Amino acid sequence: MGQRGSLRAGEPPSGRLPRLERRRPRSFTEWRTLRRWGRLPPWEVEAPGFLLREARLGSGLTQEALADRLGITQQAVSRAERWGSNPTIELMRRWLSACGHRLELRAVPFPPAPAVKTGLTLQRRRRQSTDNDGG
């Protein structure tokens, strides 16, 4: 039936598994749970729509009540709380203020990269050390 070395049902492939890409967004419940456990991949930690939804739920507001405070429709609140939403900073500030939070944005520089030692650098150091030894 199968060729030699083919996989049977339930058997993992030998060697390293390929990285699986998500083809659909996480549900809010899954995202919130993984975030609480510290298990979200780095690129999913700050999903703006889900962060806004979490703030609204934490303040006990309904979508309708928040919409009234912001002067927008309930549908606009719903759209902004989606996985792939891209709210403006101004909307996020107003939203979080209405929920009793404040927005903090920071630009943090990367730490300096460590120096890479190449064979050429090591050869120069060896020559310098032998020159300094008087040899």
Q: Which domains does the chain have, with CATH numbers?
A: 28-98 (1.10.260.40)
The percentage of the chain sitting over the pLDDT mark of 90, rounded to a whole number, equals 41
Written as one letter, the residue type at 130 is T
CB 37 within 8 A of CB 65: no
Helix%, strand%, coil% for the chain, nearest 5: 45, 0, 55
Listed range (66-80, 85-99, 110-124) with the worst mean pLDDT: 110-124
Among the residue ranges 32-41, 64-73, 93-102, the one predicted with the least confidence is 32-41
Close Cβ partners of 28 (under 8 Å, ≥ 6 residues apart) = 50, 53, 81, 83
Left if phi > 0, otherwise alpha if psi is -120 to 50, otherwise beta: which for 11? beta
Rounded Cα distance, 90 and 48, in Å:
13
Tell whether the model's pLDDT for residue 1 goes beyond 60.
no
**Are 58 and 95 within 8 A, CB to CB?**
no
Give the integer Cα–Cα distance in Å for 82 and 75.
11
pTM above 0.85, yes or no: no
From the number of C-beta atoms within 10 Å of its C-beta (0-12, 13-18, 19+), residue 65 rates as middle
